[in-house]
Amino acid sequence: MASAGLGADLLLANEVLDEARLRSMVDTARQHDARVTVAVDSPATIAAAATAGVREVLIDVDVGLPRCGVMPDAAGDLAMRAAEVGLVVRGVMGYEGHLQMDLDPSRRAERVREAMIALRSAHRDVGGDIVSAGGTGTHRDLVIGLDDPAGVTEVQAGSYALMDTDYMRHDAGFVPAIDLIGTVISVGARHGVIDVGLKALGMDHGPPTIDGAAVWFCSDEHITFAPDDGSLPRLGDRIRVRPAHLDPTVARHQVMWLVDGDTVVEPWPIDMRHW
């Protein structure tokens, strides 16, 4: 993102212990005059950041998702530790990933509010200008601005840019912008087969979909499908497939082709997928 010119204020919203990786990121940021802030949640991630030349961090706070982050009441001490080794603590982040797929809007809003109140209690001890949280499923539940006791200053949503069919179950207000394009390589009595399979798809959120057709099943190299109107596809037809989970799907590919309708505008390399 830094080398693509998007380096005004980037957040690496994850813990990194590997100093070599962090150093390589710091070097890239320097070359492109980019500002990168890194999440930390332990003395070890603070030490790695400081050693690698990272200058700015956010304290990652556990707001209910059992993944990264310190408990809210430990955030202040960790911030002090980061300051002691010369890091600038810009504030806190807390990812309420466990609430993204709660499809009941009022329950979700209430649970997100509780999570953000916990994040703000950590922020009181940590200080700084940033309270960063949220995702595509919860962006509407967040209040922007610190006047509200559950308010935040920035939203970490990412999937909204391309969307996937899992998030489309939500009325999240975004349209899908990503497809895989398969070719029909075999036609049976009642079905067609395209050359897109498990090796090309993140399947942890379920099978992909094809507009106007039923997906029967996916195998390593194939999707078996049948058009809803009873017709059969022809060999060589190009079929658009929508993934159920965008992030791990993208990470299985080397290049994304940016298109305007059916016209290819340019290829985008997916260069961070093995990082």
Residues that bind ligand PLP (CB under 6 A): 13, 95, 97, 100, 135-136, 156-160
Q: Which is nearer to ligand PLP, 69 or 76 (CB)?
A: 69
Q: Which residue has the tokens 């395209």?
A: 194
Q: Which is nearer to ligand PLP, 158 or 267 (CB)?
A: 158
The minimum distance between CB 172 and ligand PLP, in angstroms, equals: 9
| CA distances in angstroms from 248 to 167, 199, 207, 243, listed in the order given | 14, 11, 13, 10
Q: Which is nearer to ligand PLP, 95 or 225 (CB)?
A: 95
Cα–Cα distance measured from residue 214 to residue 41, given in angstroms and rounded to the nearest whole number: 45
The minimum distance between CB 152 and ligand PLP, in angstroms, equals: 12
The minimum distance between CB 160 and ligand PLP, in angstroms, equals: 6
**Residue closest to 2 by CA, chosen among 272, 273, 275, 254:** 272
The minimum distance between CB 214 and ligand PLP, in angstroms, equals: 27
Residue nearest to ligand PLP (CB): 135
Cα–Cα distance measured from residue 76 to residue 81, given in angstroms and rounded to the nearest whole number: 9
Handedness of CA 73, 76, 77, 79 (dihedral sign): positive
Q: Which is nearer to ligand PLP, 62 or 239 (CB)?
A: 62
With residue 217 as reference, give the H or E element that holds it.
strand 213-219
The minimum distance between CB 246 and ligand PLP, in angstroms, equals: 8
Q: Which is nearer to ligand PLP, 155 or 185 (CB)?
A: 155
Q: Which is nearer to ligand PLP, 100 or 209 (CB)?
A: 100
Tell me which amino acid residue 237 is: D
Residue 118 dihedral angles phi and psi, to the nearest 5°: -65, -40
Burial 131-162 (b: 16+ CB within 10 A, else e): bbbbbbbbbbbbeeeeeeebbbbbbbbebbeb
The minimum distance between CB 168 and ligand PLP, in angstroms, equals: 13
